[in-house]
A and B are shown apart, each in its own frame.
Chain A
Amino acid sequence: MTLRIYLPRDTTANALGADRLAHSLEALAGQKGMDLTVIRNGSRGAFWLEPLVEMDHKGQRLGFGNVTAADAETLLAALADNPTAHPSYVGPVSEIPFLKNQQRLTFERAGEGDPLCIETYQQLGGFVGLRNALAMTAQQIVDEVKESGLRGRGGAAFPAGIKWQTVLDAVGNRKYIVCNADEGDSGTFADRLLMEADPFQLIEGMTIAALAVGATQGYIYLRSEYPLAHQILNEAIERAEQAGYLGDDLLGSGQAFHLEVRLGAGAYICGEETSLLNSLEGKRGIVRAKPPLPAIEGLFGKPTVVNNVLTLAAVTTVLAKGSDFYQDFGVGRSRGTLAFQLAGNIERGGLVELAFGTTLRDLVSEFGGDSASGRPLRAIQVGGPLGAYLPESSWDTPLDYEAFAEIGGMIGHGGVVVFDESINMSDQARFAMDFCAEESCGKCTPCRVGAVRGVEVIDRIREGNEPEKNRELLLDLCDTMESASLCAMGGMTPFPVRSALHYFPEDFQSEGSQ
Chain B
Amino acid sequence: MQSALAPIIDQYRDCEGALLPLLHAVQAQWGHIPDAAIDPIARELNLSAAEVHGVISFYHDFKTSPQGEHLVQVCCAEACQARGSRSLESYATQRLGIDYGETTVSGRVTLERVYCLGNCACGPSLRIDDDVYARVDNPTFDALLAEKAEEPGL
Contact = CB atoms under 8 A, between A and B. Distances in A.
Nearest to A496: B78
A341 interface: yes
Given A184-B115, A343-B82, 7 more contacts: A11-B117, A189-B119, A224-B24, A267-B59, A283-B55, A344-B78, A344-B120
A395 interface: no
A418 interface: yes
A262 B17 contact: yes
B120 A188 contact: yes
A227 B78 contact: no
B82 A12 contact: no
Contact of A186 (B24, B54, B77): B77
A280 B123 CA distance: 31
Query: For the complex, would chain A's binding face be called helix, strand, loop or mixed by DSSP majority?
Result: mixed
Contacts of B86: 427
B120 A284 contact: no
A283 B19 contact: yes
A417 B122 contact: no
A417 B23 contact: no
9 contacts: A11-B117, A12-B134, A184-B115, A187-B77, A262-B20, A267-B58, A284-B58, A420-B82, A423-B82
B130 to A, nearest CB: 4
A254 interface: no
B21 interface: yes
Contacts of B133: 15
Contacts of B131: 14-15
A15 B82 contact: no
B143 interface: no
B37 interface: no
Contact of A285 (B18, B51, B58, B127): B58
B115 to A, nearest CB: 6
B60 A267 contact: yes
A192 B118 contact: yes
A342 B82 CA distance: 12
B108 interface: no
B79 A344 contact: yes
Given A225-B114, A345-B83, A385-B77, A282 B24 contact: no
Interface in B33-75: 45, 51, 54-55, 58-62
A423 B122 CA distance: 18
Interface in B101-133: 114-123, 125, 127, 130-133
Nearest to B51: A283
Given A266-B59, A279-B20, A225 B117 contact: yes
Interface string B128-151: 001111110000000000000000
A262 B18 CA distance: 10
Given A349-B122, A419-B82, A439 B115 contact: yes
B20 A372 contact: no
B118 A265 contact: no
A11 B78 contact: no
B79 A187 contact: yes
Contacts of A415: 79, 120
A419 B135 CA distance: 16
A288 to B, nearest CB: 15
B16 interface: yes
Interface string A180-209: 000111111100100000000000000000
